[in-house]
Amino acid sequence: MANNSEKNSPLIMAKIRKDLLSPIVNHKGAGLWMGFLLTGLALFFWGYIIQLKEGLVVTGMRDYVSWGMYIANFVFFVAVSLIGMLLSAVLGLLNIKWVKPITRIAEIIALAFVMIAGLVIIIDMGRPDRFLYIFFHGRLQSPILWDVTVITTYIVISLLLLILPLLPDLGIMKKYMKDDVPKWQWNLYNILSLGWANTPNQYKILHKSVRVLMILIIPVALGIHTVTSWLFASTLRPGWDTTIFGPYFVTGAFVSGVAAVIIAMYFFRNNYKLKYYLTDFHFERMGRLLVLVSLVYLYFNINEFLVPGYKMKTMDAHHLHTIFTGEYAWMFWLTQIFGLILPIIVTITKWGRKPGPLMITSIFVVVGAWFKRYIIVIPTLIHAHLPIQNVPHNFKEYMPTGLEITLTVGTIFMALIIITMLAKLFPILPMWEIAEEEGVDVQKDLLK
Amino acid sequence: MKYKNIISLFALLFATTMLFAQADDWGASDEDKAVQLQVEFNKMNINGGKALFNTHCKACHGELGAGKPILPNATDLGSEEFNKTHTDGLIHYKLINGKGAMPSFQGTISDEEMWKVIAFIRSNYEAYEPPAEIAAPVEASSGGGDMFQGDISKIEFSVDEESGKLSAKVIGKNAEGQSVLAAGVPLEFRVVGYFGDLPLNKDGKTDEKGEINFDFPKDLPSDTAGIIDLYAAIPESAGYGNHQSEIVNAQMGEKLNWIPPLSKRSLWGPMRNIPLWLLFTYLGITGFVWLGIFYVVFQLFKIWMLRER
């Protein structure tokens, strides 16, 4: 066997190189897709300039609902970014083999979404020029400063966790792609590869460093979403004043993250022709993971809504009636049923874990997850914490304006642009790890 | 079905009639209604009544005669309709007993003050004829002698910080325009507060020399510098209008030992007063994680050192 694979190693490597590096060279369809995304980005900037000029009055936000769609969107972005930790660190440290080809997709999604999450906060500021005040006048007693700290840290760790496992691949690309790509692109690979020479010592350092990062990223990722939940839970407002908000956010994040990765896997498998590497088996496993995290999230949902719903404390009751039977009931029940319960039922079946159906289910889950954040942020704010007399009517209800929706969609486009660019510049699957799984002695054969 | 409707209609009619009948019935006896105004219908009582009306009645009944009560169910007490249908005694009875949303004022204001309010209400109704003679004048509150009639020109207020004695002298002008010491004038010593001032004495009146004294309660807290702000004033309800002395800043009372809540380490304080446990937790966690990050960055440097040369 060893002999056999040793003999076949160059062939295997050649196939992996051909399959994974050709999307970087082959631009068919990419221009159209990027054109679409850039048009969205242009629309975003047009809207943002209006918002900068006029101020936040162009949004639906007023004195009561001062955290609107932007903040709901922020929570969604942070949530999705948690998937990098779950897949590459938790499953990686457990040494689960099937997850290896998926880790880079997860890391790219994590990095793109957490970077845009930080940007969304700035979009939500009426005076973005005052952003730096958080460093001059911030108080460490405030969860907002903890959030800034932990998001920055997570961006750095995610970036490192993306770059480090990329080094051997960059070594390959530096060696084989000199004639295939423009000079600047090859220079980029050359610099980023940090002179990867495939020596045993380099591998030793690489494995050790990745391991350190995998351990570091778990508490940091838990921290990023727990602190985000504390932005809400450290207040006394009904709907937010709950002790399980941290784990409730984290489990919800895993659901949306797993679904987002499944959608990305499906897209790359078809467009990058990676059926050989991203097999039905991978989808079947990701489907199981989706069911698992969804069940945990369902359990937290039951706790989050049944317990206060049973007691109906006066202040809570206002809020709960709004989402159970009132103004937001349709959104609440649609997200719970189509974003959580039905996906669990469908994905429990073997058929539901086939790539096609699983991808469709995942779209429902992601959309549901987005609206779930909307349900968490907005209805609580509609009921004023302290009664005020003669309140203008537009304080008492919130409807996002077209401009607000445009900017929100724009941020999703931005995340997609980052993902597309990273997937266009680098192999979307870790070539050397796949080769290792195929029995290639990477330390010997990788750069042959 | 049809019968049911008719029956319920009748039931409704009956209930409504009962309600309206009840609404007019405050339970006053003819004897109650026969009572006439028990204070003199003069300018001072009317002025005093006006002050009381503004404090206690206006919030629901609105301005006299404006026809715009604040509470929908309240009556405009200046309307002809009201004044025609109400004897002095009936208004007095309603003030004492109250009904539904109208509270009883017994215990809130004195009987004399109730009559002053009635005098004020009547002053707005031209057809009112005051009783020729006060049949049974209400007992004036404690204090000396007859009440001074005339305008108040000055209140002289002095504080003896040593003994804690507060004294005031009221000087007025009599009908001939001469300056006189005003006797029998109600006077309050008050402490200036953040939210309304605190009256120290109750039912005090000036003596024949126009003077009044009061012992300052020594346990009253003063501010952090040990200062307390005092003045003497004639309550507006006395009918003289609004008169008060100069404010005196006296070194009296128990000095307040107040520690500003922001001066201690707290979650709500400024950054420099952050609780130490929080600071060290934050620095500890952040420092530990960033040490790990710097370690990895250093490893990257080591990989670069091992590059092909």
Residues of chain B predicted below pLDDT 70: 1-4, 7, 9-24, 135-145, 309
Looking at every residue in chain A, the average pLDDT score rounds to 91
Rounded CA-CA distance B254/B217 in Å is 10
* The predicted structure's pLDDT at residue B71: 85
Taking residues A236-265, what's their average pLDDT?
94
pLDDT digits (tens, 9 = 90+) for A390-419: 888 888 889 999 999 999 999 999 999 999
How do residues B226-260 score in pLDDT, each as one tens digit?
999 999 999 888 888 889 999 999 999 899 888 88
Separation of alpha carbons B139 and B42, rounded Å: 17
CA distance A194 to chain B (A): 5
pLDDT score of A2: 46
pLDDT at A261: 95
At A322 the pLDDT is 92
3-state secondary structure A375-418: HHHHHHHHCCCCCCCCCCHHHCCCCCCHHHHHHHHHHHHHHHHH
Q: Which long-range contacts does A327-332 make (Cβ < 8 Å, 24+ apart)?
A: A327/A379, A327/A382, A328/A375, A328/A378, A328/A379, A331/A371, A331/A374, A331/A375, A332/A375
Nearest to A156 among B293, B299, B306 (CB): B293
Q: Distance (Å, rounded) from C-alpha B49 to C-alpha B130?
A: 15
Residue A170 tokens, joined: 């960059």
Burial class, A298, CB count within 10 angstroms (exposed 0-12 / middle 13-18 / buried 19+): middle
Mean pLDDT of A342-367: 95
Place of tokens 């960059």: A170
pLDDT digits (tens, 9 = 90+) for A368-390: 999 999 999 999 998 877 767 78
ipTM for the predicted complex comes to 0.89
Mutate to test the interface with A, among B294, B299, B304 (most CBs of A within 10 A): B299
Rounded (10°) CA dihedral B245, B250, B252, B254: 100
SS3 (DSSP) at B309: coil
Q: What is the DSSP letter of B186?
A: B
Question: Looking at the predicted structure, is the pLDDT value of residue A440 above 90?
Answer: no
Report the candidate in A395, A378, A411 with the shortest Cα–Cα distance to residue A67: A378
Query: Phi and psi for A181 in degrees, rounded to 5?
Result: -120, 160
Report the alpha-carbon distance of residue B88 to residue B125 in Å, rounded.
Answer: 12
Question: Residue holding tokens 């009635």?
Answer: B118
pTM value is 0.75
Give the length of chain B.
309
Question: Is residue A78 a contact partner of residue A117, using CB atoms and an 8 Å limit?
Answer: yes
> B275 — contact with chain A (CB < 8 Å)?
yes
What average pLDDT does chain B have?
86
pLDDT digits (tens, 9 = 90+) for B102-125: 999 988 888 888 999 999 999 988
Residues A18-77: pLDDT tens digits?
Answer: 888 888 888 788 889 999 999 999 999 999 999 999 999 999 999 889 999 999 999 999
pLDDT of A446 higher than 90 = no
A→B interface, C-beta within 8 Å:
137-141, 146, 149, 153, 156-157, 160, 163-164, 167, 194-197, 199, 201-202, 205-206, 208-209, 212-213, 216, 219-220, 223
* Per-residue confidence (pLDDT) for residue B262, from 0 to 100: 86
CB contact under 8 Å between B296 and A197, yes or no, is no
What is the amino acid identity at position A126?
G
